[in-house]
Chains A and B, each alone.
Chain A
Amino acid sequence: KQEVTQIPAALSVPEGENLVLNCSFTDSAIYNLQWFRQDPGKGLTSLLLIQSSQREQTSGRLNASLDKSSGRSTLYIAASQPGDSATYLCAVSRASGTYKYIFGTGTRLKVLA
Chain B
Amino acid sequence: EAGVAQSPRYKIIEKRQSVAFWCNPISGHATLYWYQQILGQGPKLLIQFQNNGVVDDSQLPKDRFSAERLKGVDSTLKIQPAKLEDSAVYLCASSRPLGHWDTEAFFGQGTRLTVV
Residues of A within 8 A of B (CB): 4, 31-32, 34, 36, 41-46, 49, 51, 89, 91, 93, 98-106
Question: In whole angstroms, how far apart are the Cα atoms of A44 and B55 in the complex?
Answer: 22
Q: Is B72 in contact with chain A by the CB < 8 A criterion?
A: no
**A75 CB to nearest chain B CB (Å):** 15
Interface size classification for chain B? 20 to 34
Chain A facing B: main interface SS = strand
Question: Are B56's CB and A42's CB within 8 A?
Answer: no
CB-CB < 8 A to B93: which residues of A?
44, 101
Top-5 shortest CB links A-B: A103-B42, A44-B107, A43-B109, A98-B56, A49-B104
CB-CB contacts of B81-116 with A at 8 A, as 1s and 0s?
A: 000000000010100001101111111111010000
Question: Are A103's CB and B98's CB within 8 A?
Answer: no
CB-CB contacts of B20-54 with A at 8 A, as 1s and 0s?
A: 00000000000101010000111111001000000
Question: Are B103's CB and A99's CB within 8 A?
Answer: yes
Question: Are B107's CB and A36's CB within 8 A?
Answer: yes
**A8 CB to nearest chain B CB (Å):** 14
Question: Are A43's CB and B42's CB within 8 A?
Answer: no
Q: A41-B112, A98-B48, A101-B33 are in contact. Are A46 and B42 (CB under 8 A)?
A: no
Q: A44-B43, A44-B91 are in contact. Are A99 and B109 (CB under 8 A)?
A: no
Q: A41-B112, A43-B91, A44-B91 are in contact. Are A102 and B105 (CB under 8 A)?
A: no
Question: Are A100's CB and B33's CB within 8 A?
Answer: yes
Contact partner of A104 (CB less than 8 A), chosen from B40, B42, B56, B98, is B42
Question: Are A101's CB and B107's CB within 8 A?
Answer: no
Question: Are A46's CB and B105's CB within 8 A?
Answer: yes
Question: Are A101's CB and B91's CB within 8 A?
Answer: no
